[in-house]
Amino acid sequence: MTTDTELTHWSTRAINLPDHANNLIHTDEGARAAGFPGALVAGATIYAYMTHPPAAAWGPDWLSGGGGELQLRRPIFDDDLVDCVISTDDGDSVVSATVDGDARSSLRLWKQADAPAIRSGDPLKPLNVHLREAHIDYGLRCGDDLSLYAEQNIAHPVTWVDLANRVFIDNLVTGPWIHVRSKIYHEGLAPIGAQIRIESNLLDRFESRAGERALVDIRIFAADQPIATIEHEAIIVLPS
């Protein structure tokens, strides 16, 4: 696969994985208590869908040196038909996750992206993870049928966003919460079996109309080699 391959549209049915049930916003009861009609499909899962077009077109080049800016604007629910639609904006390719023609989330793609320097902030607890088969098949379980990850024995890129969510769960949230935005910079590939170390800094906590938000810089390493840098933002306390 080369970075000259054209991006193509792709569709799948949304699946609300049980992996995320510890966040009550991804359960029917918790989502309804927050004013939604049913459980929200996790932002990480929506991101997994939107990585299908660039991973299929650009392969390991994008997975090890590209990235994108993820915006999660409106909810997607279990069994929604998600169309990943390709467009361009200001010279960048954009993947939009749409339902019935309504763009719910977007991923502005970077074919190549130099990770920014980590900004100063309050250090959060480090996280250590052993990559398992689940980090290959998350995509398959949620509906991303791309075989690249199993063929090359590498983690699906949703792994890095999912681990960024773990940082929030371990450090910042005590109830339902909503991931809203990320900037994801890929810096390398990680094989299943690798030991992962995550270092994080809390950059800001602030109030918004949607609730209290937090912004965190997250650096992910495998065997001391940088794998991904993520600027991760979420609503950590929903309005009462």
CB 67 within 8 A of CB 61: no
Average pLDDT score over residue span 173-191: 94
Whether residue 38 is contained in a domain is answered as: yes
Residue 2 lies in a domain: no
pLDDT of 28 above 60: yes
Asked whether residue 81 is assigned to any structural domain, the reply reads yes
Q: Is residue 4 part of a domain?
A: no
**How distant is the alpha carbon of residue 225 from its chain centre?**
21
Q: Kindly list the distances between the CA atom of residue 177 and the CA atoms of 43, 46, 73, 199, 216, in Å, as whole numbers in the listed order.
A: 11, 16, 14, 21, 15
Average pLDDT over residues 189-214: 95
Average pLDDT over residues 19-45: 84
Q: What local confidence, expressed as pLDDT, does residue 75 receive? A: 92
**Cα separation, 22 vs 29, whole angstroms:** 12
102-152 pLDDT tens trace: 999 999 999 998 888 878 899 999 999 999 888 888 999 999 999 999 999
Question: How does residue 38 score in pLDDT terms, banded at 50, 70 and 90?
Answer: confident
CATH number at residue 126: 3.10.129.10
Q: Tens digit of pLDDT for each residue in 53-109? A: 999 999 999 999 999 999 999 999 999 999 999 999 998 999 999 999 999 999 999
* Whether the model pTM is above 0.85: yes
Would 108 be classed as within a structural domain?
Answer: yes
CA nearest to 181, candidates 121, 101, 107: 107
pLDDT at residue 133, as a whole number: 85
Q: Which domain holds residue 47?
A: 10-237
Tokens, residue 123? 């250090």
How many domains are there within the chain?
1
Does the structure show a pLDDT above 80 at 1? no
Whether residue 1 is contained in a domain is answered as no
How far apart (Å, rounded) are the C-alpha atoms in residues 134 and 140?
10
Tell me how far apart the alpha carbons of residues 127 and 11 are, in angstroms, rounded to a whole number: 34
Residue 69: the pLDDT is 97
Residue 106 in domain: yes
Distance (Å, whole) CA 184 – CA 161:
8
What is the average pLDDT across 203-231?
Answer: 95
Q: Band of the pLDDT at 3, cuts 50, 70, 90?
A: very low
Q: Are 108 and 114 in contact (CB under 8 A)?
A: no
Residue 186 in domain: yes
Q: Label residue 4 by pLDDT band (50, 70, 90).
A: low
Structure tokens at 166: 């773990």
